[in-house]
Amino acid sequence: MDLKSKREDLDSESIERLTLVEVEGVALTSDTAEKWGRIWGFQARPDDLLICTYPKAGTTWLQEIVDMIQHGGDPEKCARAPIHQRMPFIEICPPMFARLEEADAMPSPRTLKTHLPVQLLPPSFWEQNCKIIYMARNVKDNAVSYFHFHRMDQGMPEPGNWDQFLAKFMAGKVAWGSWFDHVRGWWEAKDRHPILYLFYEDLKEDPAQEIQKVAQFLELELPESVLNRIIQHTDFESMKANPMANYTSLSPLVMNHAISPFMRKGTVGDWKEHFTVAQNEQLDDVIARELGGSSLTFRTQL
């Protein structure tokens, strides 16, 4: 079975988990690595908006907020298709997601999704000076969320147990590579390009303020009544119940929500339920080493 058919062969009882392949020193899933030339050559347009995150940083939440802002806070318009079809995910194209071909055929303005680290972003996005919204999440909750996602998404590499996964995560030996390189690389890039850099924790604490920031970045007016509707439509419980945002429209052979729901907890601080004291101290040391010289700081509780 070739790599592509692993995700396409949905008639069988299970799909095979992908392996990791390095592209320019960054671990990517084998299906992405296989078509890297095509992804690198992706043609961005000047009015494209790119939503960029490390996996599990709140991408879907930000996507739904952006779609609501773009559609005047009308939930009916945002229910036109599942989120993974509304906004093509440029480097991953299993058949149930919008493919690169569909992104090419999509009318402007497009909103696209990526998890690529800054150095692997296709050059046309820089050439076209596209607006980019980046969202980062504290490394501890991000790691926990990524672990549970590996358990439920049957195409992701085998995570092993929590201890094994955390070791791989801290070494950057997971899909899309090192969390540290990712958040730092995009943090530095924001000084050179039109990038709005947001934090999951800020959005959780004060959705009104952060949603207004997004609207301003998109140069769109947001009357208070529309803002309130967006806050309500995109809160965790609403999104968990929304089949157009919660990924339940995918086959359970791909994402098995019985193992762990995509909309799992949606909180800040769940890491405390997973980390041992030793693991926490070890990660604090890595944070101090990796982010010590940077102005980038994170909150691990609210």
Q: Which residues are catalytic?
A: 115
| Total residues interacting with ligand PPS, rule: CB under 6 A | 21
Considering only 26, 58, 210, 217, the residue that binds ligand PPS (CB under 6 A) is: 58
Q: Does 92 bind ligand PPS (CB under 6 A)?
A: no
Q: Does 114 bind ligand PPS (CB under 6 A)?
A: no
- Of 59 and 279, nearer to ligand PPS (C-beta) is 59
In 10 A of CB 102, how many CB atoms?
12
Q: Does 148 bind ligand PPS (CB under 6 A)?
A: yes
The number of helix segments (H) and strand segments (E) in the chain equals: 16, 6
- Of 155 and 185, nearer to ligand PPS (C-beta) is 155
Q: What are phi and psi of 22, to 5 degrees?
A: -80, 135
Q: Does 299 bind ligand PPS (CB under 6 A)?
A: no
Q: Does 266 bind ligand PPS (CB under 6 A)?
A: yes
Rounded Cα distance, 217 and 195, in Å: 9
> What's the burial of 280, exposed, middle or buried (CB within 10 Å: 0-12/13-18/19+)?
middle
Cis peptide before 107 (omega within 30 of 0): no
Q: How far is the CB of 298 from ligand PPS (least distance, A)?
A: 15
DSSP-derived secondary structure letter, 218 = T
Rounded Cα distance, 296 and 293, in Å: 9
The number of C-alpha atoms within 13 Å of 89 and in the hemisphere containing its C-beta is 19
Q: Does 44 bind ligand PPS (CB under 6 A)?
A: no
Q: Does 29 bind ligand PPS (CB under 6 A)?
A: no
Q: Does 264 bind ligand PPS (CB under 6 A)?
A: yes
Binding positions for ligand PPS, rule: CB under 6 A: 53, 55-61, 141, 145, 148-149, 234-236, 239, 263-266, 270
